[in-house]
Structure 1
Amino acid sequence: MRWTLKPKPDYTKVTALSAALSVPENIAALLVQRGITNYDEAKSFFRPSLSELHNPFLLKDMDVAVTRIEKAIKESENILVYGDYDVDGTTSVALMSSFLKTKTPNVATYIPDRYDEGYGVSYKGIDFAADNDITLIIALDCGIKAIDKVAYAKEKGVDFIICDHHRPGKQIPDAIAVLDPKRDDCNYPYKELCGCGVGFKLIQAINEQSGGTINDLLGYLDLVATAIGADIVPMTGENRILAYHGLHIINTAPRMGFYAIIKQVKKETLTITDVVFIIAPRINAAGRMKHGNHAVTLLTETDINLAAKYAQEIETFNKDRREADKSITEEALLQINDNSEKDCKTTVVYHESWHKGVIGIVASRLTETYYRPTLVFTKSGEKLAASARSVKGFDVYNALEACSKHIEQFGGHKYAAGLTLLEKDYENFKAEFEKVVSETIDERLLTPEINIDSELDLADITPKFFRILKQFAPFGPGNMHPTFMTKNVRDTGYGKCVGQDNAHLKLAVQPNNVPKSDKRGIGAIGFNLGNKCELTTDRKTFDIVYSIDENEWNGNVSLQLKLKDLNA
């Protein structure tokens, strides 16, 4: 691991902010690092307000989109809400369809089949609309590259409104409206919305146009918060405001589908991390193992008994997903070891029978293991389909773009993408991808990096300090959980390896200058750091990097260090 200590912020700004907020300087320093330098900015950070959301009509084409939807409602047109099968897509469809159903009964939903239709807008979906007298499709979390599909729909008399957040290609689809903050010609102040976030801006605009206020839409924010967490978009600006209030809804008045999931897992108060690791995988499991429609059905259900039934079905899908994920990851690791491609800068694996629904998860696991841009391929009909994952700092989307002559279709983000290609092109693509990455990647990016906010004395870790730190939440890219470094600590003598195969490290650490007789220390847990146990024995001193968390045991709650790494 590379330890990178962030530069110390301007001390004048730190002391001024510390005085203005009556907080310790180490807290003020964390805020200045996040661009917060005065009382008003701190107030906005600690108490995100929905009043600070941008005017939705600043999005290019928003006025046209609202006008077209109002016309459809007034003239009783049939509307199809279309979205991708992942968390961002299914929450978007649940949000848009349930909102529109408060305006008109003529609303249907459509999630493409992952295996039959693949990602994004499909001809089959357009045919479904045309065959059912649907004249308007609202596509969410997809569509920005659907040039041919939108043209095909136009020939059939079906209009399109696209709400997407992916990077556009060279051409924008000829739709009635294309809402995407990443359009070059869109001057919307915040560019990092997820698909559900763009959908929310559309219902915000429709609601405002009819004289409503933001308070009318609070019940939809649990969906938006879940999409923000699951899609790993920056936890800054509007995303942080929406996630903050959405988490409040999840914990106080969740929709029946979320309530049923939370009841199953017996969790009281959810953080954004819980949303990512508890709610999101279950919603995703429907589209991965069966069909995304199951997720939309759960998320729009208002009857608690039916919601509990649907949640149980989805729990089964999630169990199947975990089993497939585990077995495919093991097969992929064996394939990599057999190939012995030690000097490669990429990981590319393929097996025709791997489950298409979990190759993205497998790609993430392989990236964690080997820390290289990774592609996992499987057979999908007559073609091969892949999920791509990248390492921090490397744009895998750009790398795929450079290999586009071997690719049929691709789309995605800097760190995650999907593609399809013909089987005959696989080997050429694999070689080209390795060449492009080798020539463009900074070698340092192939070693995992820990960004450290600041050095901290163990004595500064108090309940009051932690109470303030907790208010930095919700955490995510752009507002990560504060990470600290403390040098020259030692274990009090009770350290040991724990867990299966002694994979984890459990310690109680103290400064190295306390008397040997003093056995007081602060608890620390290092997941997958069992191999570093030797560094902590015999009262050796070592340096640690960690975040601060709470540990609950037998009803007692204490502060605990969550170790990220340690070195002698």
Structure 2
Amino acid sequence: MRWTLKPIPEAKKTEALQEALQVDEVVATLLLQRGIETYEAAKTFFRPSLDDLHDPFLMKDMDKAVTRIETAIAKGENILVYGDYDVDGTTSVALMSSYLKTQTNNVATYIPDRYDEGYGVSFQGIDFADDNDFSLIIALDCGVKAIDKVVYAKEKGIDFIICDHHRPGKQLPKAVAVLDPKRDDCEYPYKELCGCGVGFKLIQALASRQGKTVEDLVTYLDLVATAIGADIVPITGENRVLAYFGLQVINASPRPGIKAIIAEVKKETLTITDVVFIVAPRINAAGRMKHGNHAVTLLTETDFNTAVNYAVEIDAFNTDRRETDKRITEEALEQIETNNEQEGYTTVVYHESWHKGVIGIVASRLIETYYRPTLVFTKSGDKLAASARSVSGFDVYNALEACSEYIEQFGGHKYAAGLTLKEENYEAFKQAFENVVSQTIDKALLTPEIKIDLKVDLQQVNDKLWRIIKQFAPFGPQNMTPVFMTENLKDTGFGKCVGEDKSHLRITVTQPQAQSIVCIGFGLGDKEPLISNGKKFKAVYSIDENHWNGITSLQLKLRDIK
């Protein structure tokens, strides 16, 4: 692991913030590293308010979208709410359809089949709309590149409103409205909304025309917070506000579908991390293993007992998904070793029988072993489909764009993308991708990095610091859990490997003039020799708390030891 210390802010700025907030140097430094430089900015950060949300009409085309939907409702038109099959897409569809159903009965939902139709707006979906007399499609978490699909719909007399957050291409679809903060000509103040966030801004705009405020829409924020966590968007600005209040809904009065998922896992208070690792995978599993419709059905169900039955079914999909991705990961690792492809700057693997629903997860798993930009391909109809995942700091979307001559279709983000290509282009693409990455990647990025906020002494780690750090939540990209480094540590002599396979490390550390603190290092069992026999060492960790026999105590969650 590469240990990288983040830059320390100027002393003058740190002192000024300490003075303004009456906090110590550690807290002031952590805030400055997150771009919080004033009392007002700190107040906004620590006390998120719905008043901090922007006027939805600042988004380009919002007025057109609202007018078109109002017309459709007034005329009794049939509206089809269309979304992608992942968490962001299915929560968006659940959000938009359940809101519109409070205004009109003429609303239906459509999630494309991952296998028959693939990602995004499909001709099949438009034919479904045409066959069933839908004259307006609202596409969420997809559509910003659906140029030909929107033309096709127009020829059938169907209008499109697009709510997306992916990077647009050179040309925008000729829809009634294209809501996407990443449009070059959109001056919306916050650019990092997820698809469900853009959908929320649309219902906020619709509700405002009826004299309602954002407070009237808080019940929808459990869906928005789930999408924010799952889609790994920055938890800054509006996303922080939406996630903060969404978590309150999840923990106090979630919709029956989310309540049923939480009941399955029996956890009391959920953090954004719990949403990412408990709620999101189960919602995702429907689209991966069966069909995204199951997720929308669960998330829009109003009866808790019925929702519990759906949640049990979705939990079974998730168990199936886990077994499938474990098997395919093992096969992919074997393929890399058999073909002697451990070297190089990329990992590109393919097998025609691999389950398309889990190749993205497998790509992420492969990065845990071979830390480099990774693509996992499978057969999809007469083409090959892949999921791409990247390492921290490298833009895989740009790398794919540089290989576009071999690609039929692609889309996504800096760290995750999807693509299709013709089978005969696979080898040429594989070589081109390796060439592009080898020429453009900073070689240091091929070693996993731990970003350290601050070097501290053990005596600075106390209950007061932990109470303040808890208020930094919800954590996520651009506001990660603070990570500290401490040098000259010693184990008190009770350090040992724990867990069934002894793969974890439990030690009690001390430093001169400091109280000892218990540490747990998951997966760090192999570091035990570094701490034995009174050797001095340094550690990177986050602060955590341990609950045992009704007693809560401070502990350190070790990330690495040297």
TM-score range, shorter chain: over 0.9
Residues in 2 aligned to 1:235 and 1:403: alpha-carbon distance in whole angstroms: 31
Once the 2 structures are TM-superposed, how far is the Cα of residue 41 of structure 1 from its aligned partner?
1.0
Q: How does 1:167-186 map to 2 (within 5 A)?
A: 167-186=167-186
Q: How does 1:54-65 map to 2 (within 5 A)?
A: 54-65=54-65
Equivalent in the alignment of 1:192: 192
SS at match of 2:501: helix
Equivalent in the alignment of 1:420: 420
Equivalent in the alignment of 2:76: 76
Equivalent in the alignment of 1:525: 520
The answer for unaligned runs of 5 or more in structure 2 is none
Equivalent in the alignment of 2:275: 275
Once the 2 structures are TM-superposed, how far is the Cα of residue 20 of structure 1 from its aligned partner?
2.2
RMSD across aligned positions (CA): 1.0
2:536 to 535, 541, 544: 541
Once the 2 structures are TM-superposed, how far is the Cα of residue 207 of structure 1 from its aligned partner?
0.7
Give CA deviations for 1:186-239 in whole Å, capped at 9, x if unaligned. Answer: 111111110000000100111111211111100000100000000000111111
Once the 2 structures are TM-superposed, how far is the Cα of residue 497 of structure 1 from its aligned partner?
1.2
- AA partner of residue 483 (structure 1): V
Greater displacement, 548-557 / 136-145: 548-557
Give the count of matched residue pairs. Answer: 562
Once the 2 structures are TM-superposed, how far is the Cα of residue 501 of structure 1 from its aligned partner?
2.8
Once the 2 structures are TM-superposed, how far is the Cα of residue 557 of structure 1 from its aligned partner?
1.4
Residues in 1 aligned to 2:547 and 2:330: alpha-carbon distance in whole angstroms: 33
Equivalent in the alignment of 1:503: 503
Equivalent in the alignment of 1:145: 145
Once the 2 structures are TM-superposed, how far is the Cα of residue 343 of structure 1 from its aligned partner?
2.6
Does 2:17 match 1:17? yes
Once the 2 structures are TM-superposed, how far is the Cα of residue 338 of structure 1 from its aligned partner?
1.2
Q: How does 1:161-172 map to 2 (within 5 A)?
A: 161-172=161-172
SS at match of 1:90: helix
- AA partner of residue 534 (structure 2): R
Residues in 1 aligned to 2:326 and 2:399: alpha-carbon distance in whole angstroms: 28
Once the 2 structures are TM-superposed, how far is the Cα of residue 505 of structure 1 from its aligned partner?
1.2
Residues in 2 aligned to 1:78 and 1:59: alpha-carbon distance in whole angstroms: 25
Once the 2 structures are TM-superposed, how far is the Cα of residue 364 of structure 1 from its aligned partner?
0.6
Does 2:315 match 1:312? no
Does 2:371 match 1:371? yes
The answer for unaligned runs of 5 or more in structure 1 is none
SS at match of 1:487: strand
TM-score with structure 2 setting the length: 0.99
Give CA deviations for 1:374-399 in whole Å, capped at 9, x if unaligned. Answer: 00001111111100000011000000
SS at match of 1:429: helix
SS at match of 2:558: strand
Equivalent in the alignment of 1:214: 214
Residues in 1 aligned to 2:387 and 2:466: alpha-carbon distance in whole angstroms: 39
Q: Is the 8 A contact 2:194 2:227 kept in 1?
A: yes
Equivalent in the alignment of 2:117: 117
Equivalent in the alignment of 2:546: 551
Q: How does 1:368-407 map to 2 (within 5 A)?
A: 368-407=368-407
Residues in 2 aligned to 1:428 and 1:392: alpha-carbon distance in whole angstroms: 26
- AA partner of residue 303 (structure 1): D
Does 2:476 match 1:439? no
Q: Is the 8 A contact 2:221 2:242 kept in 1?
A: yes
Does 2:327 match 1:327? yes
Once the 2 structures are TM-superposed, how far is the Cα of residue 28 of structure 1 from its aligned partner?
1.3
* Percent identical residues: 73
Equivalent in the alignment of 2:560: 565
Once the 2 structures are TM-superposed, how far is the Cα of residue 342 of structure 1 from its aligned partner?
3.1
Residues in 2 aligned to 1:212 and 1:436: alpha-carbon distance in whole angstroms: 51
- AA partner of residue 11 (structure 1): A
Q: Is the 8 A contact 2:342 2:370 kept in 1?
A: no
Once the 2 structures are TM-superposed, how far is the Cα of residue 11 of structure 1 from its aligned partner?
1.8
Once the 2 structures are TM-superposed, how far is the Cα of residue 500 of structure 1 from its aligned partner?
3.8
Q: Is the 8 A contact 2:336 2:342 kept in 1?
A: no
Greater displacement, 455-464 / 110-119: 455-464
SS at match of 1:376: strand
Residues in 2 aligned to 1:140 and 1:48: alpha-carbon distance in whole angstroms: 26
Residues in 1 aligned to 2:471 and 2:270: alpha-carbon distance in whole angstroms: 14
Equivalent in the alignment of 2:5: 5
Residues in 1 aligned to 2:40 and 2:477: alpha-carbon distance in whole angstroms: 23
Once the 2 structures are TM-superposed, how far is the Cα of residue 530 of structure 1 from its aligned partner?
1.2
Residues in 2 aligned to 1:157 and 1:368: alpha-carbon distance in whole angstroms: 49
Residues in 2 aligned to 1:384 and 1:38: alpha-carbon distance in whole angstroms: 52
Once the 2 structures are TM-superposed, how far is the Cα of residue 555 of structure 1 from its aligned partner?
2.1
Once the 2 structures are TM-superposed, how far is the Cα of residue 15 of structure 1 from its aligned partner?
2.0
Equivalent in the alignment of 2:257: 257
Residues in 1 aligned to 2:160 and 2:303: alpha-carbon distance in whole angstroms: 32
- AA partner of residue 157 (structure 2): G
Once the 2 structures are TM-superposed, how far is the Cα of residue 554 of structure 1 from its aligned partner?
2.3
Residues in 2 aligned to 1:269 and 1:66: alpha-carbon distance in whole angstroms: 37
Q: How does 1:280-319 map to 2 (within 5 A)?
A: 280-319=280-319
- AA partner of residue 503 (structure 1): S
Q: Is the 8 A contact 2:505 2:522 kept in 1?
A: yes
Equivalent in the alignment of 1:157: 157
Residues in 2 aligned to 1:369 and 1:343: alpha-carbon distance in whole angstroms: 12
- AA partner of residue 502 (structure 1): K
Does 2:492 match 1:487? no
Once the 2 structures are TM-superposed, how far is the Cα of residue 402 of structure 1 from its aligned partner?
0.6
- AA partner of residue 20 (structure 2): A
Once the 2 structures are TM-superposed, how far is the Cα of residue 499 of structure 1 from its aligned partner?
2.0
SS at match of 1:502: coil
- AA partner of residue 266 (structure 2): K
Equivalent in the alignment of 1:87: 87
SS at match of 1:486: strand
Equivalent in the alignment of 1:460: 460
TM-score with structure 1 setting the length: 0.98
- AA partner of residue 518 (structure 2): G
Residues in 1 aligned to 2:8 and 2:167: alpha-carbon distance in whole angstroms: 34
Residues in 1 aligned to 2:326 and 2:550: alpha-carbon distance in whole angstroms: 33
SS at match of 1:479: coil
- AA partner of residue 545 (structure 2): E
Residues in 2 aligned to 1:332 and 1:169: alpha-carbon distance in whole angstroms: 32
Moved over 3 A (4+): none
Equivalent in the alignment of 1:227: 227
Once the 2 structures are TM-superposed, how far is the Cα of residue 424 of structure 1 from its aligned partner?
0.9
Once the 2 structures are TM-superposed, how far is the Cα of residue 460 of structure 1 from its aligned partner?
1.5
Once the 2 structures are TM-superposed, how far is the Cα of residue 27 of structure 1 from its aligned partner?
0.8
Equivalent in the alignment of 1:449: 449
Give CA deviations for 1:153-190 in whole Å, capped at 9, x if unaligned. Answer: 00001000000000011110011100001111111111
Residues in 2 aligned to 1:417 and 1:381: alpha-carbon distance in whole angstroms: 19
